[in-house]
A and B are shown apart, each in its own frame.
Chain A
Amino acid sequence: MSEFPSPQLAVIVIGAVMVAAVYLVTVLERLVGSVVAGTPWQLRHGLAFPLRAAALLLVQRRGTTERPDAAGWASAPALLTALAAVALAMVPLGARLAAADPKTGFVVFSAAIAFVMIAVYLHGWSSNSALALHGAYRYAAQALSFQIPFLLATLATALPARSLSIVDIVTAQQPLWNVVRQPLGLPLYLIAGLAVSFWGPLNLPDAADLAGGTSVQDSGVARLLWKGARAALLVAVAAMGAAAFLGGWWGPWLPGPIWTVLKTLILLLVLIAAGHLLPRVRIQRFVVVAWVVLIPLALANIFVSGALLLL
């Protein structure tokens, strides 16, 4: 068991990490976008962009629709932020540097990920808008489809560790990283990670063919919170991938937390690049692939990992 000296300090640290995560994702996304679009990236402009865009959204007034479910509409971005915070808090930075290390940390992370579907559904349904509602229902189908591959792929990493605690899962990777001994795990996790944070090719609820989907009626602070929460969730997904598959803090020369951050950064770049390079998948195709291809692959991954452990 490893914990911060006090829960209040952990909360503050997680808050700071989330703000930093949102800033990082915004900057990286513009950077990768400039590279893909072939435009030169101006450093000062790019670094100041998140602050300026946030200020712009803070200055904008909040619009409304006819008889929305006001409580649901307001609570959806807050819920998503809280879920991203919980998911991020489960990832340990170092062997003795974790915001919280419950013995079932994996289940807490998975519960936070599962709750995202509630946040997105509320976000789309509450605004009383047809396109937003459509996005919410698309995410319901998407979320129910990726849950099982996601759980199975990450659960396989708990097998070598014989524990559901994330710190134990990372500790068990000292001899060999999980990406090597469970090769199917990381690709499955990344696909499911794109699905849970509805990013890039799997950005179906907030899709361009729904003119913004669940965010179509968002303005002002609500828009800022939703975008920020999505970015934080992406970083949480990348961080957990780094911890569960890329060996967390293990690595030569540099101290452990630096390795965790570097590995998270690598996965984050992979996810953001996927967002800029891969077209959006059709919802019907994704549902079919998730149930018919990803679940058998995830099951095979668990069987093989379990068999290797028993031998």
Chain B
Amino acid sequence: MTDSFLVDAVFWLFAAGALVTAYRIFRTDSMVRAAFYLLASFAAVGGVIVLLGGEFLGMVLILMMAGEMLIMAIVMVMYMMNPAGLNPMWMVHQHRVAVAAGILAFAVLAAPAFLVDFPDQANREPATATAQLGEELLGNSMLVFETAGVALLATMVGAVAITSRRGRYGVADDGSEEPAMDPNDAEVA
């Protein structure tokens, strides 16, 4: 194929990108940047999956990770004592242990890439990927996906219900503080 060089170059670009951005997650000094480096790493992995023929899976990964990493960034800013996440900070505690653990984990996870004998023949892309996916979802894996689907729907409904305006202690716009434990302690408004 004439553009196999292009495909190889793109693969190495994505692979190197995934590794470099993954490393940068721990070396950057900003939480929001860390979350977005993770997003970049996932996006690169999604690109690799597309190159491997899993078009749907790869693009869905990118689609999902966008929303998830945004929420991750927001939640990190929310929980850390760092105004708006703009102050410099370290991403790890216990430096030496973290570095050692990281290198060890990377070695363990990367070893299969060199030690395993992966199949070699070219894989022709199925012409009916969507149909096959549909048959898998509603055939062999129906129980898994339907359970997951119902659980997700319940989560969505629950999340909407939690943010409902009429809370347990009154309408949200007026503030819904719970009554004090001791009625005599109730603050005078």
Binding site for B on A (CB under 8 A): 67, 69, 71-72, 102-104, 107-108, 110-111, 114-115, 117-118, 121-122, 125, 128, 133, 137, 140, 143-144, 147-148, 162-164, 288, 291-292, 295
Residues of A within 8 A of B66 (CB): 111, 114-115, 117-118
Contact A103 B33, CB 8 Å, known A133-B84, A140-B74: no
B32, B39, B56, B60: the one contacting A125 at CB < 8 Å is B32
| CB closest residue in chain B, given A68 | B86
CB under 8 Å from chain A, chain B span 55-113: 55-56, 59-60, 62-63, 66-67, 69-71, 73-74, 84-86
Q: Tell me if A67 and B86 are in contact (CB < 8 A).
A: yes
B155 beta carbon closer than 8 Å to chain A:
no
CB neighbours of A118 from chain B (8 A)? 36, 39, 66, 69-70
Report which of B60, B73, B156 forms a contact with A121, defined as CB distance below 8 A: B73
Known contacts: A121-B73, A140-B74. The answer to whether A103 contacts B55 by CB under 8 A is: yes
Q: Which residues of B contact A133 (CB under 8 A)?
A: 84
Counting CB contacts under 8 A, is B176 at the interface? no
Q: A104-B130, A291-B160 are in contact. Are A144 and B67 (CB under 8 A)?
A: yes
Closest partner residue, chain A, to B66 (CB atom): A114
Please report the C-alpha to C-alpha distance between residue A295 and residue B156 in the assembled complex, in whole angstroms. 11
- B67 x A147 contact (CB < 8 A): yes
* In the complex, number of A-B residue pairs with CB atoms less than 8 Å apart: 73
- B-side binding surface: helix, strand, loop or mixed? helix
Q: Which residues of A contact B151 (CB under 8 A)?
A: none
- Are B63 and A125 in contact, with the CB atoms below 8 A? no
Interface positions of B (Cβ within 8 A of A): 30, 32-33, 36, 39, 55-56, 59-60, 62-63, 66-67, 69-71, 73-74, 84-86, 129-131, 156, 160, 165
Q: Please, which residues of chain B bring their CB within 8 A of the CB of A137?
A: 74
Quote the shortest CB–CB distance from A126 to chain B (angstroms): 8
List the B side residues contacting A144 at CB < 8 Å.
Answer: 67, 70-71
A137 to B59 Cα, complex, angstroms: 25
Top-3 shortest CB links A-B: A111-B63, A114-B66, A107-B59
A-B contact sample (20 more), CB < 8 A, given A69-B30, A114-B62, A118-B36: A67-B86, A69-B86, A103-B55, A103-B129, A107-B56, A107-B60, A107-B63, A108-B59, A111-B59, A111-B60, A111-B66, A114-B66, A114-B67, A115-B66, A118-B39, A118-B70, A121-B73, A125-B32, A125-B85, A128-B86
CA distance A288 to B164 in the complex (A): 9
Minimum Cβ distance to chain B for residue A136 (Å): 9
CA distance A147 to B67 in the complex (A): 9
In contact, A69 and B55 (Cβ under 8 angstroms): no
User: Please, which residues of chain A bring their CB within 8 A of the CB of B67?
Assistant: 114, 117, 143-144, 147
| CB-contact partner of A111 in B62, B85, B156, under 8 A | B62
Given A111-B62, A125-B85, A163-B130, A102 contacting B70 (CB threshold 8 A): no
Residues from chain B with a CB closer than 8 A to the CB of A164 are 56, 130
Closest to B172 in A: A284
Q: Which residues of A contact B69 (CB under 8 A)?
A: 118
| Interchain residue pairs with CB less than 8 A apart (22) | A67-B86, A69-B30, A72-B33, A72-B36, A103-B130, A104-B56, A107-B55, A107-B63, A114-B62, A114-B63, A117-B66, A117-B70, A118-B39, A118-B66, A118-B70, A125-B32, A125-B84, A125-B86, A140-B70, A140-B74, A163-B130, A291-B160
